[in-house]
């Protein structure tokens, strides 16, 4: 479900506030109570940057994304 929504509209997820200082325009969608998908659009491609566990410290997970 999320895959087709993101492919048809890459801007569907809000910009990820913890990653605003990065050169890519990272966005995220909550896919379950415990998981958030972080992605960015690159041309016609959607790249998955991370799958965050929402039970963990978000800032620590953001540090793993360049």
Burial of 11 (0-12, 13-18, 19+ CB in 10 A): exposed
**Would you say residue 64 has pLDDT above 90?**
no
In this prediction the pTM is 0.89
pLDDT digit string, tens, across residues 11-56: 999 999 999 999 999 999 999 999 999 999 999 899 999 999 999 9
- For the chain, the domain total comes to 1
Question: What is the Cα–Cα distance from 18 to 2, expressed in whole angstroms?
Answer: 21
> What stretches of the chain adopt beta strand conformation (E)?
27-32, 35-42, 45-53
From the list 53, 59, 56, 11, the residue with the least C-alpha distance to 36 is 53
Q: What pLDDT was estimated at residue 66?
A: 76
Domain containing 25: what range?
Answer: 2-62
pLDDT at 2: 72
């Amino acid at each position: 479900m999320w895959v087709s929504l993101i492919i048809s509209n890459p801007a569907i997820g809000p910009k990820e506030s913890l990653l605003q200082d990065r050169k890519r325009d990272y966005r995220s969608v909550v896919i379950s109570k415990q998981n958030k998908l972080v992605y960015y659009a690159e041309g016609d491609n959607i790249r998955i940057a991370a799958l965050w566990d929402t039970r963990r410290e978000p800032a620590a997970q953001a540090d793993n994304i360049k």
